[in-house]
Chains A and B, each alone.
Chain A
Amino acid sequence: MSKKQFLKMVILGDSGVGKTTLLQQYVTQKATGNSKPTIGADFQKKEVMVDNQQVNLQIWDTAGQEKFQSLGYAFYRGADSCALVFDITNHKSFENLAMWKKGFIENASPGDVNTYPFVVIGNKLDKEVNRQVTSQEARQWCKDNGDIPYYETSALENISVDSAFLEMAKTALKRGTQNALFSLPESIGGAGGAIKLNNFEDRGGAGAKGGAGKKKKNGTCC
């Protein structure tokens, strides 16, 4: 068996387009359609087989309100793949894809943008009758943005959810991972432990707990 691979993925898009439900469906094979607004970000993991290789997906589900994008840096950085999600019954959410993509690129520094493994997902196919964004329109946008693969899904009824995520994993693997875990930001201060207060000794300290067996269990190397 070949060594384990780790991939970091992030899911972006407007509030209420179904990011959390997509992820819930993908990871647990069921979706209630009853998920609460995500505050900050949520983390999910899933093991999948891609081309006979075992891959550990680490997926960040993010908050959809625009102001939360200012936290993006911590979550975007080192991502191997990024899903841009909109709601096919909400044209505004489609128009905002450009904003999400731009925000991701600015924060994640993903190298060559043209080859970066984006996937665009038009969700809520179960509400076809209320559709505001045509497939053609969405495909055109994907084409104009560097031939991004496009999927139409129903997170609620589990239509094409697996294939969308699998596509993300495949293209990310092909491009080579960015060693997600090693490029995570150290911390916003505390865990970095660079600053000490005089009265309160930082007893734990960097690596005090270290020693054998306490090395990272979850990197792509070693």
Chain B
Amino acid sequence: MRSSQHRLKQKRQALWIKILDIPHEREKLAEEYKIHRKRSEIQEFLPKVISDSIEVDVARSFNHMKDVTSQTLNNILKAYATVNKDNLDYCQGMNFIAGFLYMAMGQSEELAFAVMKEVISRFSMQELFNTSLPMLKLNFYQLDRLIAIILPDLHAHFKDESINSSYFSAPYFITLFTSTLQMQTDMQNSETLLRLWDYFIVHGWKAIFKVSLAILREFEEALLDMPFEVLLTQIVNLPGKFFLKDFVDEASERAQVQRFDQAYAGVRLPNMLLERLKQEFDKNYEVSKRTRSGSSDEGTKEKKPLIQSIFGMGYKQFPNK
């Protein structure tokens, strides 16, 4: 019996390429990849400090997955670092995405490279990865607000325990849950992670927020009983528990994926809500920047009030409208 799930597995690569509008001529992709690989050997395109930082991370990424070699990861990440080097070279976390995509794309470096390049550009991930991680701060804000709206009990508990999403959710956004693969030896148990990526490639960031909330909802009861310290040590393991299940056979894998689909669909997240939270963030961020920079000297001291305003201090000043 051939399930639709089985067919999807067979066609996943082709589907992702199609949805992402990546040229399907393999020669073209190989050629482009080659150009960037060549560039990455030239200091001018890839300064030593960047290639060093890539190597440090590659040496400690996917150590258990023998199909993802250091050579492969170095090649993809260094090539990528030359793509848009004024905007983004390398950010920790891309190592996991690169390794995941290499496996997801049938162990083809040029395909992994092409998908990574398209995903980063299509979903504005430069904003996430570049110098001051501006989008990550927005994402923390959005997730905190969504927890308050969708999981109010958990929100109240987080508040009691002085916990906010910046304490645990950086890998959700920065690695798109691929850091859960760190201890894996292969992709055997990763079907639900691939499934999340199906959603991500189609729906973008909304999918990441939905699954973040689905994870928190799944473990909500346990989390509600945990005090600060226990919570923080446990919460980082949840994505791994959520995504990596031992599948004994194809039927149980199918059941797991169906459960995932249900959990995912169970989180209702209207498009306008994310947009609205962004506006909320932008507005407060702008206002608090203005009120603070008004009194202080500009330029050199600009960085600190900005950071402070993002991390909570600013919001207190704005009552409900």
Binding site for B on A (CB under 8 A): 15-16, 34-45, 56, 58, 63-65, 67-68, 70-74, 106-107, 181, 184-197, 200, 202-210, 214-218
Report if B147 contacts A (CB, 8 A).
yes
Contacting pair A187 B164 (CB below 8 A): yes
Question: Complex: how many Å from CA A18 to CA B133?
Answer: 23
Question: Complex: how many Å from CA A58 to CA B163?
Answer: 14
Question: Complex: how many Å from CA A40 to CA B166?
Answer: 8
Question: Complex: how many Å from CA A74 to CA B308?
Answer: 9
- How many chain B residues have a CB neighbour from A under 8 Å? 75
Which residues of B in the span 134-159 have a Cβ within 8 Å of any Cβ on A? 136-137, 140-141, 143-149, 151-159
Report if B47 contacts A (CB, 8 A).
no
Contacting pair A191 B315 (CB below 8 A): no
Contacting pair A205 B156 (CB below 8 A): yes
Contacting pair B232 A187 (CB below 8 A): no
Report if B40 contacts A (CB, 8 A).
no
Interface secondary structure of B, over-half rule = helix
In chain A, what residue has the closest Cβ to B235?
A43
Q: List 11 A-B contacts (CB under 8 A).
A: A40-B168, A41-B170, A185-B164, A188-B140, A190-B143, A195-B280, A202-B152, A204-B154, A206-B156, A207-B160, A210-B160
Question: Complex: how many Å from CA A197 to CA B142?
Answer: 13
Contacting pair A68 B61 (CB below 8 A): no
In chain A, what residue has the closest Cβ to B283?
A195
B281: A residues at CB distance < 8 A: 189
Contacting pair B92 A217 (CB below 8 A): no
Report if B316 contacts A (CB, 8 A).
yes
Q: A181-B228, A185-B311 are in contact. Are A195 and B318 (CB under 8 A)?
A: yes
B165: A residues at CB distance < 8 A: 188, 190
Contacting pair B273 A200 (CB below 8 A): yes
Question: Complex: how many Å from CA A128 to CA B166?
Answer: 37
B63: A residues at CB distance < 8 A: 34
Question: Complex: how many Å from CA A73 to CA B313?
Answer: 11
Contacting pair A190 B148 (CB below 8 A): yes
B95: A residues at CB distance < 8 A: 37
Closest chain-A Cβ to B196's Cβ sits at a distance in Å of 17
Partner of A45, one of B131, B233, B307, B320: B233
Contacting pair B155 A36 (CB below 8 A): no
Contacting pair A39 B164 (CB below 8 A): no
Question: Complex: how many Å from CA A38 to CA B233?
Answer: 14
Question: Complex: how many Å from CA A35 to CA B10?
Answer: 33
Question: Complex: how many Å from CA A203 to CA B304?
Answer: 33
Contacting pair B156 A216 (CB below 8 A): no
Given A189-B284, A197-B149, 13 more pairs with CB closer than 8 A:
A40-B170, A45-B232, A67-B132, A74-B311, A190-B165, A191-B144, A191-B163, A193-B155, A202-B149, A202-B152, A202-B155, A204-B155, A218-B228
Closest chain-B Cβ to A68's Cβ sits at a distance in Å of 7
Partner of B92, one of A45, A63, A195, A210: A63
In chain A, what residue has the closest Cβ to B236?
A42
Question: Complex: how many Å from CA A15 to CA B53?
Answer: 8
Interface string of B293-321 (1 = CB under 8 A from A): 00000000000100110111101101111
Question: Complex: how many Å from CA A185 to CA B182?
Answer: 31
Contacting pair B159 A191 (CB below 8 A): yes
Question: Complex: how many Å from CA A205 to CA B169?
Answer: 22
Q: A70-B132, A189-B144, A196-B320 are in contact. Are A204 and B153 (CB under 8 A)?
A: yes
Contacting pair A73 B311 (CB below 8 A): yes
In chain B, what residue has the closest Cβ to A181?
B162
Question: Complex: how many Å from CA A216 to CA B56?
Answer: 40
Contacting pair A192 B312 (CB below 8 A): yes
Contacting pair A56 B132 (CB below 8 A): no
Q: A188-B141, A205-B152 are in contact. Are A65 and B276 (CB under 8 A)?
A: no
Closest chain-B Cβ to A107's Cβ sits at a distance in Å of 7
Complex A-B, nearest 9 residue pairs according to Cβ-Cβ distance, in ascending order: A190-B144, A40-B170, A204-B152, A187-B164, A209-B156, A43-B232, A16-B56, A204-B156, A203-B152
Report if B17 contacts A (CB, 8 A).
no
Contacting pair A202 B233 (CB below 8 A): no
Closest chain-B Cβ to A43's Cβ sits at a distance in Å of 4
Contacting pair B148 A191 (CB below 8 A): yes
Question: Complex: how many Å from CA A207 to CA B153?
Answer: 10
Which residues of B in the span 66-113 have a Cβ within 8 Å of any Cβ on A? 91-93, 95
